[in-house]
Amino acid sequence: MAPPTITPLQALGVGADSIHLSKRPLPTAPDGRYHWQNKAQPGQSIEGIKNKGGIVPDPRTMAAFIQQAHHPDAVDDRLGAFSAGLDLLYKLPADSDARKKLGDTAVGTFYNDLPHPSGIYQPSVSFLGPERSFRSADGAGNNLHIPDLGRAGMPYARNVQGKWAYAQTALPDPGLVFDTLFKARGERKTHAGGNSSLTFAFAIIVIHSLFRTDHRDWNINTTSSYLDLSPLYGVDQAAQDQVRNKQEGRGLLYPDTFSEDRLSFLPPAASAILVLFSRNHNYIANMLLKINERKCWSDPPPTDDAKRAKQDEEIFQTARLVNCGHFMGMIMSDYVAGFLGQCDGGAWKMNAFDPITLDGVEVRRGEGNHCSVEFNVLYRWHPTLSKEDEQWTKDVFDRASKGKPAEELTLEDFGRAAGETFASVNRDPKQRTFGGFALIFPLRDSSSLQKPGLNFVIQEEVSYTSVLLCIFANYACSACIAHGLPPTMC
C-alpha cells in the first residue's frame, strides 16, 4: 500500500500549527488545562440534555427530595438531598431559569437557616465618608446599626438554645468520645472526589479567617467573623500596621509577609497560599496606582507626609477590598465545589453577591455575620489530612514534646510544650519563616515587586519557585469520614 501523500498546502498548515502550539503560553488554570479543554458537560444546553436523554433519577435521591418536601423544617442529611441538589445544579444549562431559581434557593436557604439581627432597620442605609468606604481592620461597623456584630474580640454567638442540663459528672470521658467516634482505624481511605491536600490547605485559611479563640477566655473570638483575609492582613489595626509598608505611599504589604502566627505550626502549603495572596495584594495596589482612574494619586507619591499617608491608605484599602473579593469568589466557586466533588465540568457557583428574592421576599444583605460556637466546633477538616501532612504534623509534635509519645502526654505537658513553641515564633511578621525555609530578600524596595515572576531567592540559592512547587505538592487527602482523625490529633 502506498504511503499517504500530503500536499504542500497541508504541510504548510501542519507546520504553522506546530509553530503556533509551541509558542502558546502555558495554561494558567490550577488543573494544568487550557480553558477550551474544560468544556461544559452536554447538559450545558437544552439540546444536549435532549440528546443525552433525561437525568436518570436515583431512588435514594428521590426519597431525599420527597422527605424534604414533607418535612421542610427537618433535614435528614443521611439521605443526601443537599449534595444531590447541587449535583443537579451543575448539570443544568448555565443560562436556564431553573438553574437561576435553584441557585437562588440554595443561597437563600443557607442564609435563612441561621439566626440574624432583627429586621427593624429597613430599608438598609449606607453612609458617606472614608471611614465608611472601607472595612475596618477588626470587622467593626459591617452592620451599621450593630457595629460590634462580628467584630474581633466579641464572644462567640450561640445558635442552639440550651434546653438540657447535665451534671459534669454525667458527661462521658472526652478521651472515650474521641476514641469511639473520631480516632482513625485500619487503612487510610482516599478521598472519593480525588481532592488534593491543597483544597484543605485553602480550608485552613478559611478557618483561621473566622476562628481565633482567646485561650485566656474561651468565650471570646479574637478575630472577626468575616472572610476578610485576616490571616494575611491581621485581626486589628495594630496587627495590620505590622504587615503594611506605609513609608512608600503605594498601599503595599511588606514582601511575602502575612500576619497569622498560628500557621507556623501547620503544614506549609497554607502559608504558601497566603504568600500568593500577599503578592496579589501588591500587584493590585501597583495596578491601581498605575491606572489612577480618578487621577487623585501621584507617582512618585507625595513628599508631604499627610498627603502620602492619605494616598497609601486609599490604595491599600481599595486593594484589600479587591483581594478579599478574589478570596470570597474562590470560596463560592472552586473551594465549595471542590470539597463537594462537583468541580468537574460544571460552571455553577454560589453567587452570593447578586440580589436574591425568594417567594417575593428579598434575601437581605449587609446585615453582618457573627460566628457561633457550634460552627467553631463542627467546622473541622482534620480527617482529610494527607499522609504527608500527617507526618509533618507528627514531627512538629515530636519536637514540641521532646520526643515524648502523644498518648503519654498529660494536659499539663501539652500546655507547657504549646506555650514554649508559640513563644519561639518571631513577633515581627517580616522575620518569620515557614516550612523550615528562610527567606532572603535581595531587594526590599518597591521596584523589586514590579518585576515579573517569583523574584525572591531562598537560602542556599534554591529558587523560590522550586520551593513553592515543593510546598504545593499534590498530596492525596483522606476521606472525610467518621473514625478518620489521625492519632497525632489526639
* 121, 254, 283, 379: the active-site residue: 379
Residue 271 exposure: Cα atoms within 13 Å on the Cβ side: 24
Helix (H) or strand (E) holding 462: strand 462-463
Q: Are 61 and 55 in contact (CB under 8 A)?
A: no
- Concerning whether 233 is annotated as a catalytic residue, the answer is no
d(CA 407, CA 411) in angstroms, rounded, equals 11
Query: Hey, what's the cell of 176?
Result: 472515650
C-alpha cell at 445: 524596595
DSSP sequence for 183-246: B--SS--B-TT--BHHHHHHHHHHHHHH--EETTEEEEE-S-SS-S-HHHH-SSHHHHHHHEEG
**C-alpha cell, 144:** 451599621
Q: Are 267 and 259 in contact (CB under 8 A)?
A: no
Q: What is the DSSP letter of 333?
A: I
Measure the CA–CA gap between 152 and 317, rounded to whole angstroms: 18
Q: Say if residue 197 is exposed, middle or buried (CB neighbours under 10 Å; 0-12, 13-18, 19+).
A: buried
What length does the chain have? 490
Rounded to 5 degrees, what angle do the CA atoms 281, 337, 24 make? Answer: 60
List of long-range contacts for 75-84, beta carbons under 8 Å, 24+ apart: 83/340, 83/341, 84/58
Q: Report how far residue 370's alpha carbon sits from residue 376's, in angstroms, rounded to the nearest whole number.
A: 11
Long-range contacts of residues 98-107, Cβ cutoff 8 Å, at least 24 apart: 99/348, 103/348, 103/350, 103/351, 104/356, 104/357, 104/358, 104/363, 105/358, 106/350, 107/350, 107/351, 107/352, 107/356, 107/363
Q: E strand or H helix at 155, and its extent?
A: strand 154-155
- Give catalytic residue positions: 379
